[in-house]
Structure 1
Amino acid sequence: MNDDARTNIGTPAPASAGPGPAELREQVERTRDELGQTVEALAVKADIKAQAKERTAAAKNQAAQKAALLTEQIREKAGQAARAVQDKTPDPLLEKAGQAATAARANRTTLLVVGAAVAAFVLVRRSRGQRR
């Protein structure tokens, strides 16, 4: 064994042999950042309540979109049906229906009173019929 080998035992290695303190600090910081991101990702996955809220919001949004689409389709079909009925209905009948609608609008109060009286009469008759 030579003298150089004995004197180098226990002494730190030269800078070229391994990472220096600055490089080690950078590695530690990178590792901390990665660990922090991993912990955040795990916390998000473990938050079942937040996931349920997100799914609920997504389901509500999807239901609202479907409802809007169905409403539009229904309106379209109703318009088509109304046009078909109007095309097949004879003109004299359409005129009479228009006159009846105009008369009903003009006498709205009278019609409401008569309707309420008829409803009351029917209810009274039913209640008397159930007692017997």
Structure 2
Amino acid sequence: MILNTDGTKPIYVQIAEWLETEILNGNFLQDQKVYSQYQLAEIFNINPATAAKGLTLLVEDDVLYKKRGLGMFVTEAAQAIILTKRREHTLKRLVTELVSEAEQLNVGMDELLEMVRKESKQSKGE
């Protein structure tokens, strides 16, 4: 992953989202230790405090938990929490933007849905 340092999304949020994606992809399993703030700082060439802030976001969302002196670990409910959060926030925001753009371009709902179906098939290699 390459961090977008020119965008509006803070780096610590990008770190948290990257770790969420790693959890969703099965690269970190329940009760498995994740990267430390220092490992993340080295991987992404960022300040350890920035990495720590990203980890803290995930602790606050109950995606990670701390084991004193051992590090951060994935909670049992991590995947469900991430999926719910992304459906309710990220996906909803994207759909809202898509519908708004379609309305501005006079693209009807049937045409928009067909575009989504076509894209879905292409992404699956059908």
TM-score above 0.5, yes or no: no
TM-score by length of 2: 0.26
Structure of greater Rg = 1
- Ranked by relative contact order (alpha carbons within 8 Å, sequence separation 6 or more), the top structure is 2
TM-score by length of 1: 0.25
